Amino acid sequence: MKKYTFLVFHRDYDAFLEQLREAGVVHINKKAEGETEDGQLQQQLALSARLQRTISQAEQYLPQGSAPVETGKAADDVLALMDEFPAFVAEKQQLAERLAAVRKEQDRMRIWGDFSSEKLDAICKEGWQMQYFSCPASKYEPEWETLYNAVQVAEEGGFVYFVTVNRANEVFDIDADEITLNRHNATRLAADADALNGLLAAKQAQLEAWAIAHLGELRQSQALMRQEIDWKRVNLSTTSLADDTLCLLEGFCPVDNTTELDKMLDEQHIYYTAEEPTEADDTPVKLHNNWFTRMFECLTGMYGWPVYGEFDPTPILGPFFLLFFALCMGDAGYGILLILFGILTTRKVLNISMFEGLGPLITTLGIGTLVVGFFLGTFFGIDLYTASWVPESLKGVMIKGKVMGYDIQMVMALCIGVFHICLAMIIKAICYTKRFGFKQNIATWGWLLLILGGLVTAILALTKVFSPEVTKWVLITIGSVSALGIYIFNTPGRNPLLNIGAGLWDTYNMATGILGDVLSYIRLYALGLAGGMLGAAFNSLGLMVLGDTPNAGTWIGFILILIVGHLLNLCMSALGAFVHPLRLSFVEYFKNSGYEGKGHLYEPFAKQTN
């Protein structure tokens, strides 16, 4: 980025801003001061938020495969449209609620048959009263038929439904629940439901037609409104000088776009300066990632964007998150389902708002799960390593067995954790040295030398590359050099006693923190194991239902258990495989890599598009 400072005469300032917006390459840091006091801006922000809610709501009613009419202009009366559409949605909701109530009442009245309310009224006018009851079949007394002229209407679901016919002045107590009949019988209620369903379909069609006709206008209105808001914010970020005759504005431009910006400024005879941003400047960042890493930028954004000069963690976060997710899922069959789900989401066959734009990422995670699941030997809860139908050549590449009495997958998870944390410490040492200089990061390099050097030495000693004597002197050298960096030179120029105290406190934090961080990676093994065991449990339950002599009924039960069980396990496993790798990245990795994530993205002052 290059930091630009513009100095413009007040009378030329609006024309300059218009040219700056046409160029669309300068990011203006908006000043918060003054925005809350500007009542017009606050009204515009509230109106823009309301308009965005209307657009989001209308997009849900846009028919599949249809596109809104693009008029290329804003709505003539956007306020009327924002009032009209929610009113239509509310009417549809009311119709849906009425339909649900009628359907429920129809189901309640179905058991009483096609009675006539007029004939029942005529009976009552003759001095008779008819009462309607229900009770559990076990509590029904046949003597009620003699005592109260009870007549059974139906018996269903363990309940008896009956009616009593007595003189209007007769009072009796019966151990049953009295029911009030609807004036309309089930057939009439079914007709009412059909009529409401027709109205509901018509209202749905009206909403869809409205979305096609007006969604383009609303989007254009929103784009223009955002331009006005940006214009207002830029003006509020302007500093007036020399009795308001000069306007001072600061902004940032990517180095790749400085040539075209300089040319435009020179042609307009604008006074400006361009310089390298400093650490104190609130410089925006523009990420440069390839197609693969770009898919994981949404995860970085969930934590926070890097500040200018800080490293972008996405190239490291992406591959490790993919590996962690695949290990937590640990089932090749679930990987296939994720791939299909991702492809259908990418192609808009499935339109689920929470997964919008995530189709390629889901597909990639599914591919990783398929590959890792195969090497772990699990397919829809089936242990491929013990399956007789799997060729021995394939079993030979599966990761099974023990290491020093521990499951190899658990040991592998811990080794991945150690590597991940060591990589984070290396990145921290390099990036902090680049940002703040080596002198300010001697302690960081000391810890890196101690931990990484100790691990490498231990591995070389265990593999007999280093003899015991060489190992001893290497460890002494590593320990001595590290101790000087950690305890003596951690803050150059400060009292050595204070440095020693700070080093001891740092030692306590590292000793307790590193061990806990490494152990956290066991979750990669535990989640994969739990998902595999639950999938196997559903398989066993399905086989129990199928039995030794299967028939049509047991086959249906077997298939239902497998489908419902594995879908439930897939959803729970996917949730865990998303949350826990994210935690390992945000907590264990970011903490040890020194990532802050307090920056903001480059958003140029430019014309808004739909």
Q: How many CB atoms lie within 10 A of CB 605?
A: 22
- The answer to whether residue 30 scores a pLDDT higher than 80 is no
pLDDT at position 399 is 85
**Number of domains forming the structure of the chain:** 5
* Interacting residues of 186 by C-beta distance below 8 A, sequence separation 6+: 106, 109, 110, 112, 113, 114
- Cα angle vertex 433, ends 427, 435, to 5°? 100
Handedness of CA 361, 362, 367, 371 (dihedral sign): positive
- For residue range 442-472, list pLDDT tens digits in order: 888 888 888 888 888 888 888 888 888 888 8
Residue with tokens 């100095």: 7
For residue 271, count CB atoms less than 10 angstroms from its CB and return exposed for 0-12, middle for 13-18, buried for 19 or more.
exposed
Q: Which of 519, 548, 576 is the last residue of a domain?
A: 519
Whether 121 and 223 map to the same domain: the answer is: no
pLDDT at position 69 is 84
| pLDDT band for position 365 (cuts 50, 70, 90) | very high
- The answer to whether residue 229 scores a pLDDT higher than 70 is yes
In the predicted model, what is the mean pLDDT of residues 322-349?
Answer: 93
Q: Which of 252, 238, 343 is nearest to 599 (CA)?
A: 252
DSSP code at position 596:
-
| pLDDT band for position 237 (cuts 50, 70, 90) | confident
Whether 327 and 398 map to the same domain: the answer is: yes
Residue 198 lies in a domain: yes
Angle between helices 332-346 and 314-329 (to 10 degrees): 130
Among 201-215, 336-350, 486-500, 560-574, the least confident range: 486-500
In a 13 Å sphere around the CA of 163, the CA atoms on its Cβ side amount to: 13
Cβ atoms 184, 117 nearer than 8 A: yes
CA dihedral (552, 553, 554, 559) in degrees, to 10, reads 80
Tokens of 143: 């003597």
What is the C-alpha separation between 443 and 491, in angstroms, rounded? 8
Whether 129 and 75 map to the same domain: the answer is: no
Domain hosting 580: range is 314-410+527-593
pLDDT at position 95 is 94
Q: Which of 503, 519, 535 is the last residue of a domain?
A: 519
* Interacting residues of 49 by C-beta distance below 8 A, sequence separation 6+: none
Among 110-114, 152-156, 161-165, 458-462, the least confident range: 458-462
Residue 506 lies in a domain: yes
Between the alpha carbon of residue 459 and those of residues 297, 408, 452, the distances in Å are 35, 18, 11
Whether 323 and 384 map to the same domain: the answer is: yes
Tokens of 417: 């954790």
- The answer to whether residue 474 scores a pLDDT higher than 70 is yes
What is the C-alpha separation between 293 and 316, in angstroms, rounded? 9
Q: How many CB atoms lie within 10 A of CB 463?
A: 8
Residue 511 lies in a domain: yes
- For residue range 265-300, list pLDDT tens digits in order: 888 888 888 999 887 788 999 999 999 999 999 999
What is the C-alpha separation between 384 and 393, in angstroms, rounded? 12
pLDDT at position 321 is 96
Residue with tokens 């940002």: 435
Residue 392 lies in a domain: yes
Residue 421 lies in a domain: no
What is the C-alpha separation between 107 and 174, in angstroms, rounded? 25
The mean pLDDT value of the chain amounts to 88
Percent of the chain with pLDDT over 70: 99
What is the C-alpha separation between 225 and 227, in angstroms, rounded? 5
Helix (H) or strand (E) holding 241, with range, is strand 239-241
In the predicted model, what is the mean pLDDT of residues 257-262?
Answer: 91
- The answer to whether residue 370 scores a pLDDT higher than 60 is yes
Q: Which of 466, 495, 519 is the last residue of a domain?
A: 519
pLDDT at position 406 is 84
Whether 84 and 226 map to the same domain: the answer is: yes
| pLDDT band for position 581 (cuts 50, 70, 90) | very high
pLDDT at position 32 is 62
Cβ atoms 316, 428 nearer than 8 A: no
pTM of the model: 0.76
Q: Which of 222, 170, 239 is nearest to 56 (CA)?
A: 222
Percent of the chain with pLDDT over 90: 43
Of the two residues 535 and 498, the one the predictor is more confident about is 535
What is the C-alpha separation between 230 and 49, in angstroms, rounded? 14
| pLDDT band for position 34 (cuts 50, 70, 90) | low
Per-residue b or e along 571-582, where b marks 16 or more CB atoms closer than 10 Å to that residue's CB: eebbebbbebbb
| Residue 278 belongs to domain with CATH number | 3.30.70.120
Residue with tokens 């050595």: 496
pLDDT at position 443 is 85
pLDDT at position 448 is 86
What is the C-alpha separation between 315 and 296, in angstroms, rounded? 8
pLDDT at position 62 is 85
> How do 402-403 and 406-407 pair as beta strands?
antiparallel
pLDDT at position 132 is 94
pLDDT at position 244 is 79
Handedness of CA 553, 558, 561, 562 (dihedral sign): negative
In the predicted model, what is the mean pLDDT of residues 217-237?
Answer: 85
Residue 420 lies in a domain: no
- Give the distance, in angstroms, between the CA of residue 201 and the centroid of all CA atoms in the same chain: 32
Report the Cα–Cα distance between both ends of the chain, in Å, rounded.
27
Whether 451 and 499 map to the same domain: the answer is: yes
Of the two residues 75 and 420, the one the predictor is more confident about is 420
Whether 497 and 354 map to the same domain: the answer is: no
What is the C-alpha separation between 326 and 577, in angstroms, rounded? 8
CA dihedral (544, 549, 553, 555) in degrees, to 10, reads 60
- The answer to whether residue 423 scores a pLDDT higher than 90 is yes
Residue 196 lies in a domain: yes
- The set of long-range contacts for 465-469, using a CB threshold of 8 Å and a minimum separation of 24, is none
| pLDDT band for position 352 (cuts 50, 70, 90) | confident
pLDDT at position 609 is 65
Largest Cα separation within the chain, whole Å, is 116
Strand-pairing partners, residue 128, are: 167
In a 13 Å sphere around the CA of 359, the CA atoms on its Cβ side amount to: 15
Whether 87 and 198 map to the same domain: the answer is: yes
Whether 47 and 92 map to the same domain: the answer is: yes
What is the C-alpha separation between 397 and 385, in angstroms, rounded? 10
Cβ atoms 303, 586 nearer than 8 A: yes
pLDDT at position 150 is 92
pLDDT at position 461 is 87
- The answer to whether residue 416 scores a pLDDT higher than 70 is yes
Residue 223 lies in a domain: yes
What is the C-alpha separation between 180 and 113, in angstroms, rounded? 14
Q: Which of 292, 348, 342, 345 is nearest to 321 (CA)?
A: 292
- The answer to whether residue 36 scores a pLDDT higher than 60 is no
Among 208-222, 305-319, 432-446, 567-581, the least confident range: 432-446
> How do 246-253 and 239-241 pair as beta strands?
antiparallel
- The answer to whether residue 37 scores a pLDDT higher than 70 is no
Among 65-79, 189-203, 281-295, the least confident range: 65-79
- For residue range 74-111, list pLDDT tens digits in order: 777 888 888 899 899 999 999 999 999 999 999 999 99
Whether 15 and 164 map to the same domain: the answer is: no
Whether 500 and 567 map to the same domain: the answer is: no
Laid out side by side, the sheet with 150-156 consists of: 150-156, 159-167, 128-136, 177-179
Whether 58 and 198 map to the same domain: the answer is: yes
* Interacting residues of 569 by C-beta distance below 8 A, sequence separation 6+: 334, 381, 531, 534, 535, 538
Of the two residues 303 and 489, the one the predictor is more confident about is 303
DSSP code at position 29:
P
- The answer to whether residue 610 scores a pLDDT higher than 80 is no
